[in-house]
């Protein structure tokens, strides 16, 4: 029985505000060391609790991806939440909570929001990164109006409020506890999420597929999806033990980089692309919101994945009535646009960052959305959802009973193919990144056109977006060079890195169904790759002969 023991609240003074707490594309992401600086985490949490509406008397969800610093942060946030009058705090056993499961918990408990502890796909551990994401009452990342207000609050902070000498929370099993006047509920972070998935997908059909000759390899990358995937794939769907690889969450992700792409999930990629042993492969990132999909000798580009899910959605029980509309981030290829056009549904193009889908989802304008950065999701929550995408694919495969590669070939044969690739230049000098970006931005369109011999530039702009729901304007979202034959190059600086700058170069060209659909994307995009390097002087300015990651 929980006992309400009065615990004194203490006001801690800060000698000076922290100046570097501007949230990026997805919350505040810094090195673990930075977060260990005395009062650093507390400063950002104080600012967030001052800005989030409804804190006093409200319910707050807290959890994270299990990385180094997770448990300590939960303790700090709980004591600060209690000091700010939060009535009920919901956290999870071991503090383990994937980003999509957190979004669901917030919605299910009508919480005022949540604090998700993760630096997503960035490495963890004492030498790695930590992060804090603030989600709102709809379960999604807070809009820019809130993140700007949080940042402004950090700039003026002279202290914070925390419970003094409170007992440590017991997180080892589900329980109800009391922290001062605040009730703390420790729940199993997997249960509710699994129930939601069972409502959306045909578990019987997927189980029947997995019982046949259909070996699957899922790589949890020693991150948060391990317990979720093990329960769902090996438990409920009957996949053999061992289907889930690297399934135990570790504080440093086993020293790995939990980013599900061909570089960082290369062991899985080699299994699928280099042999015929598996029919389906997938991986998720640190906090479980990203996904990579593979078939036998077939990599599914994330932009294509969204298009395939859109085209096949009615095969899945949760989407059997069809889709209200779809959305993709600007750098994501237009593969989904073509499908949406054929289906006669709206397709929106938003800036990078899941928060931009929130209003469209809340307004019922879209059902599915996705990004080239391995994120796909729907209106079931307000975050991208890695395991959801895996189950969506398995549901389609269970209904169509065709190999992944055949599904892709048929898709391109019907809609045409958007050859697509992203080249990342990671951790480069910030000056070099901004220098080459500004060089292209300030260039005359005529000069830009010359670089793309034989084609002309239809539009060259810095992408700006007016939210169709609330009218807010977001500008400076990436340089778009749109060519008259429908191909394009986009340059964008990452908003999630913690070291130097990361330049992303997005390359895309469209081939109609009658064209050559089976080229290697790097070859199909070869002339665009050469042209943009010449134009932006990428190699010279970054000092790198090739990108760190090619997707
Ligand atoms: C975050 C956002 C995504 C966005 C990505 C972009 O991903 O949640 O919506 O696409 O950042 O990253 P960058 O700015 O580096 O290109 P995550 O998985 O890190 O939360």
The backbone torsions φ and ψ at residue 437, rounded to the nearest 5 degrees and listed phi first, read: -65, -50
* Helix 302-312, helix 404-415: angle, nearest 10: 80
Name the catalytic one among 43, 120, 303, 373.
Answer: 120
Q: What is the pLDDT of residue 7?
A: 64
Residue 497 in this model has a pLDDT that exceeds 80: no
Token reading at 137: 């009452």
The total domain count for the chain is 3
- Residue finishing a domain among 390, 415, 440: 415
Residue 440 in this model has a pLDDT that exceeds 90: no
Distance of CA 41 to the CA centre of its chain: 22
Identify the three-state secondary structure at position 186.
strand
Do both 154 and 257 map to the same domain? Answer: no
Nearest CA to ligand 1 atom 3: 353
| CA dist., res. 8 & res. 166, Å (int) | 8
Do both 274 and 139 map to the same domain? Answer: no
Give distance in angstroms: CA of 487 to centre of ligand 1. Answer: 24
User: Which mutation among 23, 285, 375 tests ligand 1's pocket best, with the greatest number of atoms within 8 A of CB?
Assistant: 375
Residue 3 in this model has a pLDDT that exceeds 50: no
Residue pLDDT, tens place only, 253-276? 999 999 999 989 999 999 999 999
| CA dist., res. 251 & res. 474, Å (int) | 36
DSSP state of 255: G
Question: What b/e string do you get for 312-337 counting C-beta neighbours within 10 Å, with b at 16 or more?
Answer: bbebbebbeeebbbbbbbbbbbbbbb
Token reading at 491: 């340059």
Do both 295 and 318 map to the same domain? Answer: yes
Q: What is the pLDDT of residue 26?
A: 80
Do both 146 and 24 map to the same domain? Answer: yes
Do both 169 and 29 map to the same domain? Answer: yes
| CA dist., res. 197 & res. 443, Å (int) | 49
Token reading at 357: 């889908």
Range of the domain at 217: 193-415
**Torsion 445-438-423-334 (CA) sign:** negative
- Residue finishing a domain among 415, 432, 450: 415
* Helix 404-415, helix 386-400: angle, nearest 10: 90
User: Which mutation among 22, 374, 493, 496 tests ligand 1's pocket best, with the greatest number of atoms within 8 A of CB?
Assistant: 496
Q: Is 514 a catalytic residue?
A: no
* Beta partners for residue 60, in sequence order: 89, 113
| CA dist., res. 243 & res. 470, Å (int) | 44
The backbone torsions φ and ψ at residue 310, rounded to the nearest 5 degrees and listed phi first, read: -65, -45
* Beta partners for residue 418, in sequence order: 510
Give distance in angstroms: CA of 422 to centre of ligand 1. Answer: 14
Do both 406 and 469 map to the same domain? Answer: no
Of all atoms in ligand 1, which is nearest to the CA of residue 285?
18
Q: What is the pLDDT of residue 536?
A: 86
Residue matched to tokens 């000759």: 213
Of all atoms in ligand 1, which is nearest to the CA of residue 29?
19
Give distance in angstroms: CA of 27 to centre of ligand 1. Answer: 10
Identify the three-state secondary structure at position 399.
helix
Residue 208 in this model has a pLDDT that exceeds 50: yes
User: Which mutation among 22, 23, 24, 25 tests ligand 1's pocket best, with the greatest number of atoms within 8 A of CB?
Assistant: 25
| Mean pLDDT of the 241-248 span | 97
Give distance in angstroms: CA of 15 to centre of ligand 1. Answer: 33
| CA dist., res. 445 & res. 496, Å (int) | 30
Do both 299 and 357 map to the same domain? Answer: yes
Of all atoms in ligand 1, which is nearest to the CA of residue 497?
15
Of all atoms in ligand 1, which is nearest to the CA of residue 119?
19
Nearest CA to ligand 1 atom 5: 353
Query: What CATH code is carried by the domain that includes residue 108?
Result: 3.40.120.10
| CA dist., res. 254 & res. 247, Å (int) | 11
Of all atoms in ligand 1, which is nearest to the CA of residue 24?
14
Query: E-assigned strands of 8-101?
Result: 9-13, 28-31, 59-64, 88-92
Q: First CA to last CA across the chain, in angstroms?
A: 53
Residue matched to tokens 């804190």: 55
Residue 445 in this model has a pLDDT that exceeds 90: no
pLDDT class for 484, splitting at 50, 70, 90? confident
Token reading at 69: 């610093």
Give distance in angstroms: CA of 348 to centre of ligand 1. Answer: 18
- Residue finishing a domain among 415, 441, 466: 415
Do both 166 and 199 map to the same domain? Answer: no
Q: What is the pLDDT of residue 6?
A: 58
Of all atoms in ligand 1, which is nearest to the CA of residue 504?
16
Around ligand 1, the residues with Cβ closer than 6 Å are 25-26, 120-121, 285, 289-290, 352-354, 371, 373, 375, 494-496, 504
Do both 207 and 149 map to the same domain? Answer: no
| CA dist., res. 165 & res. 264, Å (int) | 42
Beta strand 216-219 with 488-493 is unpaired
Residue matched to tokens 């249960």: 191
Residue 154 in this model has a pLDDT that exceeds 80: yes
Beta strand 280-284 with 291-295 is antiparallel
Residue 75 contacts residue 156 (beta carbons within 8 Å): no
Give distance in angstroms: CA of 502 to centre of ligand 1. Answer: 12
Do both 384 and 403 map to the same domain? Answer: yes
Query: What CATH code is carried by the domain that includes residue 453?
Result: 3.30.310.50
418 CB burial (10 A radius; 0-12, 13-18, 19+):
buried
Residue 280 in this model has a pLDDT that exceeds 50: yes
Residue pLDDT, tens place only, 322-370? 999 999 999 999 999 999 999 999 999 999 999 899 999 999 999 999 9
Nearest CA to ligand 1 atom 4: 353
Q: What is the pLDDT of residue 9?
A: 79
| CA dist., res. 307 & res. 356, Å (int) | 19
Query: E-assigned strands of 324-416?
Result: 325-329, 346-350, 368-371, 375-378
Distance of CA 292 to the CA centre of its chain: 12
Q: Where are the alpha helices (DSSP H) in 189-331?
A: 191-200, 203-211, 225-229, 266-273, 302-312
Residue matched to tokens 């790695």: 128
| CA dist., res. 537 & res. 541, Å (int) | 6
Residue 67 contacts residue 38 (beta carbons within 8 Å): no
Residue 88 in this model has a pLDDT that exceeds 70: yes
Do both 56 and 199 map to the same domain? Answer: no
The model's pTM is: 0.92
Do both 156 and 267 map to the same domain? Answer: no
Residue 494 contacts residue 502 (beta carbons within 8 Å): yes
Q: 54: phi > 0 → left, psi -120 to 50 → alpha, else beta; which?
A: left
Token reading at 404: 């992944």
């Amino acid at each position: 029985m929980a006992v309400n023991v009065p615990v004194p609240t203490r006001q801690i003074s800060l000698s000076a505000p922290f100046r570097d707490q501007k949230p990026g594309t997805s919350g505040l992401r810094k090195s673990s060391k930075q977060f260990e600086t005395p009062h650093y985490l507390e400063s950002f949490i104080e600012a967030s609790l001052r800005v989030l509406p409804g804190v006093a008397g409200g319910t707050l969800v807290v959890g994270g991806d299990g990385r180094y610093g997770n448990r300590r942060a939960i303790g700090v946030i709980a004591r600060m939440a209690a000091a700010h009058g939060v009535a009920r705090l919901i956290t999870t056993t071991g503090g383990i909570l994937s980003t999509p499961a957190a979004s669901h918990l917030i919605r299910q408990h009508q919480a005022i929001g949540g604090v998700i502890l993760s630096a997503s796909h960035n490495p963890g551990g004492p030498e790695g990164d930590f992060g804090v994401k603030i989600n709102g009452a709809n379960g999604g990342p807070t809009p820019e109006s809130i993140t700007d207000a949080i940042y402004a609050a950090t700039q003026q902070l002279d202290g914070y409020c925390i419970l003094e000498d409170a007992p440590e929370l017991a997180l080892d099993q589900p329980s109800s506890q009391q922290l001062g006047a605040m009730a703390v509920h420790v729940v199993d972070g997997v249960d509710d999420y699994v129930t939601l998935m069972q409502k959306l997908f045909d578990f019987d059909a997927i189980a029947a597929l997995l019982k046949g000759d259909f070996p699957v390899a899922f790589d949890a990358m020693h991150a948060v999806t391990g317990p979720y995937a093990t329960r769902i794939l090996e438990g409920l769907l009957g996949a053999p033990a061992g289907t889930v690889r690297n399934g135990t969450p570790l504080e440093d992700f086993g020293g790995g980089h939990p980013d599900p792409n061909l570089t960082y999930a290369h062991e899985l990629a080699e299994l699928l692309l280099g042999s015929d042993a598996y029919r389906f492969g997938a991986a998720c990132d640190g906090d479980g919101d990203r996904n990579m999909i593979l078939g036998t000798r077939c990599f599914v580009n994330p932009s294509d994945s969204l298009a395939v899910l859109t085209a096949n959605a009615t095969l899945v029980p949760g989407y059997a009535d069809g889709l209200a509309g779809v959305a993709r981030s600007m750098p994501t290829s237009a593969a989904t646009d073509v499908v949406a056009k054929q289906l006669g549904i709206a397709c929106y193009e938003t800036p990078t960052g899941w928060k931009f889908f929130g209003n469209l989802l809340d307004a019922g304008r879209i059902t599915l959305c996705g990004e080239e950065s391995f994120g796909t999701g729907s209106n079931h929550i307000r975050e991208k959802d890695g395991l959801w995408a895996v189950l969506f694919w398995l549901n389609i495969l269970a209904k169509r009973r065709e190999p992944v590669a055949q599904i892709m070939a048929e898709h391109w044969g019907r809609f045409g193919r958007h050859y697509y690739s992203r080249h990342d230049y990671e951790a480069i000098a910030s000056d070099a990144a901004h220098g080459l970006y500004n060089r292209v931005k300030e260039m005359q369109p005529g000069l830009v056109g010359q670089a793309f011999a034989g084609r002309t530039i239809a539009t060259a702009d810095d992408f700006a977006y007016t939210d169709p729901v609330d009218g807010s304007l977001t500008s400076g979202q990436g340089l778009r060079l749109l060519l008259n034959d429908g191909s394009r190059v986009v340059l964008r600086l990452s908003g999630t890195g913690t070291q130097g700058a990361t330049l992303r170069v997005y390359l895309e060209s469209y081939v109609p169904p009658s064209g050559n659909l089976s080229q290697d994307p790097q070859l199909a995009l070869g002339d665009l790759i050469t042209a943009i390097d010449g134009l932006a002087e990428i190699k010279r300015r970054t000092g790198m002969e090739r990108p760190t990651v090619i997707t």
